[in-house]
């Protein structure tokens, strides 16, 4: 069954209006949905609706709700992962957003650090954020994920850590200094809400690493190989998922 997204504000007790231009185009011109055809629509709260297409209007689609499914207990008990990722060069952040969305990350924060090569001005930050949100939505639809991650505004590492209350585990994979085993750290701490900081090409500076440690971040190792930013982000989240379920 085809899947679409609608914000909760467009959902009533009996019907859903999909009026996002790209969603309407995808449903009408790509999927070629017909009247009375069944689809699944999810909202930004992780609620899933089984619907029937009632009306095809020039700029919107109207669906009748015939079944509503809230997130199950098992889904709610899953660990929550936030990734603050240094912005890699070229357009590799697009891939980071796409892959982390598929892996179920709850929040992604594009991060500027001392050694980040890409420096975005205010206009480019706004444009990139819109692009990344679109990528996250498409990845959520493709992976049959209910809901999609919050893509935060670009922040510096100090700003990220100043707003990092509420996590029961904060990790910073690093290439230098004393580091713990990621596997042992996850297993012994049994965390439910995790923050992971991913550094840029060239890693964090010693000053950044010291600051992160002063804010409660634990340096961990992802292995002996030096990974690209996008690879490190995917590897860290994949390892956490694996170890948390072991």
How far is the C-alpha of 212 from the C-alpha of 85, rounded, in Å? 14
Residue 68 has phi, psi (to 5 degrees) of -125, 135
How far is the C-alpha of 127 from the C-alpha of 85, rounded, in Å? 18
Helices (H), the chain: 21-25, 73-76, 92-102, 122-142, 157-162, 182-189, 206-214, 229-244
Task: Kindly state the percentage of the chain with pLDDT values over 90.
Answer: 70
Judge whether 95 and 232 are in contact, CB under 8 Å: no
Instruction: Identify the pLDDT of residue 22.
Output: 87
Judge whether 136 and 102 are in contact, CB under 8 Å: no
Q: Is the pLDDT of residue 71 over 90?
A: no
Q: Is the pLDDT of residue 73 over 50?
A: no
Judge whether 243 and 183 are in contact, CB under 8 Å: yes
Residue 25 has phi, psi (to 5 degrees) of -60, -45
Q: Is the pLDDT of residue 139 over 90?
A: yes
* Residues 236/131/70/60 CA torsion (nearest 10 deg): -160
Instruction: Identify the pLDDT of residue 148.
Output: 85
Tell me the two tokens of residue 19: 């009026």
Q: Where is 196: in which H helix or E strand?
A: strand 193-198
The model's confidence at residue 156, banded by pLDDT at 50, 70 and 90, is very high
Residue 96 bridge partners (DSSP): none
Residue 150 bridge partners (DSSP): 107
Alpha-carbon distances, residue 214 vs 116, 196, 207, 210, 218 (angstroms): 22, 15, 11, 6, 10
How far is the C-alpha of 163 from the C-alpha of 112, rounded, in Å? 15
What's the pTM value of the predicted model, to 2 decimals?
0.84
The per-residue pLDDT for range 92-105, each reduced to its tens digit, is 999 999 999 999 99
Averaged pLDDT, 146-156 = 90
CA Rg value for the chain: 20
Instruction: Identify the pLDDT of residue 72.
Output: 55
The model's confidence at residue 14, banded by pLDDT at 50, 70 and 90, is very high
Instruction: Identify the pLDDT of residue 77.
Output: 56
The per-residue pLDDT for range 25-52, each reduced to its tens digit, is 989 998 999 999 999 999 887 788 999 9
Tell me the two tokens of residue 88: 């890699």
Q: Is the pLDDT of residue 15 over 90?
A: yes
């Amino acid at each position: 069954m085809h899947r679409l997204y609608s914000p909760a504000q467009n959902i009533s007790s009996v019907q859903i209006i999909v009026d996002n231009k790209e969603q309407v185009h995808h449903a009408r011109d790509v999927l070629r949905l017909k009247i009375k055809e069944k689809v699944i629509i999810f909202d930004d709260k992780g609620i899933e609706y089984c619907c029937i297409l009632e009306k095809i209007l020039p700029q919107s689609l109207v669906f009748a709700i015939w079944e509503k499914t809230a997130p199950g207990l098992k889904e709610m008990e899953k660990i929550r992962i936030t990734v603050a990722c240094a912005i890699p060069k070229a357009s590799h952040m697009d891939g980071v957003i796409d892959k982390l969305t598929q892996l179920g990350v709850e929040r992604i924060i594009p991060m500027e650090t001392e050694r980040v090569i890409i420096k975005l001005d205010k206009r480019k930050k706004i444009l990139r954020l819109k692009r990344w949100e679109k990528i996250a939505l498409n990845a959520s639809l493709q992976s049959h994920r209910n809901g999609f991650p919050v893509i935060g505004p670009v922040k510096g590492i100090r700003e990220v850590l100043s707003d990092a209350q509420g996590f029961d585990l904060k990790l910073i994979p690093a290439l230098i200094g004393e580091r713990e085993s990621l596997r042992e750290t996850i297993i012994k701490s049994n965390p439910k809400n995790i923050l992971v900081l991913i550094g840029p090409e060239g890693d964090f500076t010693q000053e950044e690493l010291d600051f992160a440690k002063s804010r409660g971040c634990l340096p961990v190792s992802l292995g002996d190989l030096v990974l690209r930013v996008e690879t490190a982000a995917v590897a860290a989240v994949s390892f956490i998922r694996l170890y948390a379920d072991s």
